[in-house]
Amino acid sequence: MASSSSTTGSPFGLRQRLTGIDVARALAILGMIAVHVYPLNVTDAATGRIVPSWVGWIAAGSSSVLFCVVAGVSVVLLSRNASTVGFGQIVIRLLLRATVLVLLGLTLGQLDSGVAVILVHYGVLFVIAIAFLKLSAKVLGVLAVSWLVLMPLLFGVLNRFLQAAMGRVEYVNNFRLWSNPNFISLLEQPGVTLWDVLVSGYYPVLVWTGFLLLGMFIAKMDLRSFPVHLLLFGAGLLVAGLTRAAGYGLASNPERLRRWSELSFTDPAEAPAAALTGSGMVTQYLVGDPSWYVMVAPHSTAPLDVISTAGIAVAVIGLCLILTQHTAGLGDKVLYPLIGAGAIPLTLYVAHVLVMAVLGDEAGSEWTVLLIQWGACLILGTALRIVGWRGPLEFLIHAVSTHLIVLNPPAKDSR
């Protein structure tokens, strides 16, 4: 079997890079770009009905979850040298990375990009990850599954309680930002900004911690084992298939669609597609309602949404590891551009948000914009991998998180 890894420099010595994880990360980035550029719902030419687009079916919700799960994998891989440099150094390194991510996220949040920027939440999750780094694979596995199953239920109960206390519409309208967290919101509405990041916003950390834990659990497994790769792919596919099938079936109920439409102020003609893609439906108005618990709409944070997207992420990671480790080197060659793009995710993500802010509503053809951005990601990733360079922002975050740390070797006995 061909090796699936490449050796890269690290401030803590050499480490082996799992190219399959890079491919999964690249797919997450490309998927998020597609969601931001291409409409999730389109009008069917034959029937005139509004239906999910191919992006709405494939990438909505699942891309950002994959990005978060891979983040959990990355956090554990970053901490593998703890026994050499000390756990305290790893903690400082993660805190510095988290700080850079939050600052970048708040900066991008100032722009009118039309993108729900994930970097602030990403940074907060890096901080949360520190509390779980020393847990074993078995404990992390139990914790991740429990979190993903139980936290959406508790999330619904919490929202229901707050809606009852304040009024359903009043709570949703007043306790979320309705924009990206940014420096202005942090100064003018610090409480609402914090609540938005943790509970009421687009990526509620309270629930999304489960995706992080899932990635950390995966990273504690033997990621060079073919049976493990098959298990990840098969189990993820099974979970995703069952939950998506159930969710799609339940979303076709006319009475349920009517209720979702009424509670979320959605056009009834758009409700069937919106219930599958989340586009055009403010699902926050539905959280905690009995009908919400069977939703599968992306970013609804409903149980079926959370579990199904987690399953998709696991299946994609398993498949990427299979393609890069068990194809006699062919996978690494064919997927070379994706491997390169996956190694510079922060640079690509920030560049994408900046481009969207500049283009605004004058972007032009969705297909043209999408293909140009995808092509730019793959070309830049390939070029930087060929020359062996980090992306600009990867270089920055590496420098900040390592060169500010004084690596003190154990003191020698001077006697």
The rounded distance, in Å, linking the Cα atoms of 170 and 272 is: 26
Q: What is the DSSP string of 178-245?
A: SS---HHHHHH-HHHHHHIIIIISSS-HHHHHHHHHHHHHHHTS-TT-HHHHHHHHHHHHHHHHHHHH
Q: What does the pLDDT read at residue 84?
A: 72
Q: Please report which confidence band the pLDDT of residue 364 belongs to, taking 50, 70 and 90 as the band edges.
A: low
Question: Dihedrals φ, ψ of 239, to 5°?
Answer: -65, -45
The rounded distance, in Å, linking the Cα atoms of 167 and 179 is: 21
From the CB of residue 161, how many other CB atoms can be counted at a distance below 10 Å? 12
Residue 410 has pLDDT above 60, yes or no: no
289 Cβ neighbours under 8 A, 6+ residues apart: 160, 259, 263
Q: What is the DSSP string of 350-407?
A: HHHHHHHHHHGGG---HHHHHHHHHHHHHHHHHHHHHHTPPPHHHHHHHHHHHHTS--
Q: Please report which confidence band the pLDDT of residue 95 belongs to, taking 50, 70 and 90 as the band edges.
A: very high
8 Å CB contact between 7 and 16: yes
In the chain, the percentage of residues whose pLDDT exceeds 70 is: 92
Lowest mean pLDDT among 23-27, 67-71, 164-168, 238-242: 164-168
Of 120, 280, 147, 135, the C-alpha closest to 214 is 147
The rounded distance, in Å, linking the Cα atoms of 309 and 78 is: 25
The rounded distance, in Å, linking the Cα atoms of 104 and 109 is: 8
Of 309, 137, 306, 341, the C-alpha closest to 223 is 137
Q: Please report which confidence band the pLDDT of residue 15 belongs to, taking 50, 70 and 90 as the band edges.
A: very low
Number of residues written out for the chain = 415
Residue 360 has pLDDT above 90, yes or no: no
Q: What does the pLDDT read at residue 415?
A: 36
pLDDT tens digit sequence for 97-113: 999 999 999 999 999 99
pLDDT tens digit sequence for 377-401: 999 999 999 999 999 999 999 888 7
Question: Dihedrals φ, ψ of 159, to 5°?
Answer: -65, -40
Query: What is this structure's pTM?
Result: 0.92
Angle between helices 303-325 and 226-250 (to 10 degrees): 150
pLDDT tens digit sequence for 229-244: 999 999 999 999 999 9
Residue 54 has pLDDT above 50, yes or no: yes
The rounded distance, in Å, linking the Cα atoms of 262 and 349 is: 35
Average pLDDT over the chain, rounded to an integer: 91
CA of residue 248 relative to chain centroid, distance = 22
Buried-exposed string 388-412: b where 16+ CB fall within 10 A, e elsewhere: eebbebbeebbeebbeebeeeeeee
Tell me the β-bridge partners of 16.
7
Q: What's the whole-number mean pLDDT along residues 314-330?
A: 95
Q: What is the DSSP string of 295-343?
A: ---TTS--HHHHHHHHHHHHHHHHHHHHHHHSSTTHHHHHTHHHHHHHT
8 Å CB contact between 169 and 197: no
Q: What does the pLDDT read at residue 195?
A: 98
**DSSP state letter for 7:** E
The rounded distance, in Å, linking the Cα atoms of 251 and 392 is: 44
Encoding tokens for residue 356?
A: 């969207």
365 Cβ neighbours under 8 A, 6+ residues apart: none
Q: What does the pLDDT read at residue 86?
A: 82
pLDDT tens digit sequence for 271-294: 999 999 999 999 999 999 999 999
CA of residue 379 relative to chain centroid, distance = 23
Q: Please report which confidence band the pLDDT of residue 405 belongs to, taking 50, 70 and 90 as the band edges.
A: low
Q: What does the pLDDT read at residue 16?
A: 59
Q: What's the whole-number mean pLDDT along residues 124-137?
A: 96
Residue 3 has pLDDT above 50, yes or no: no
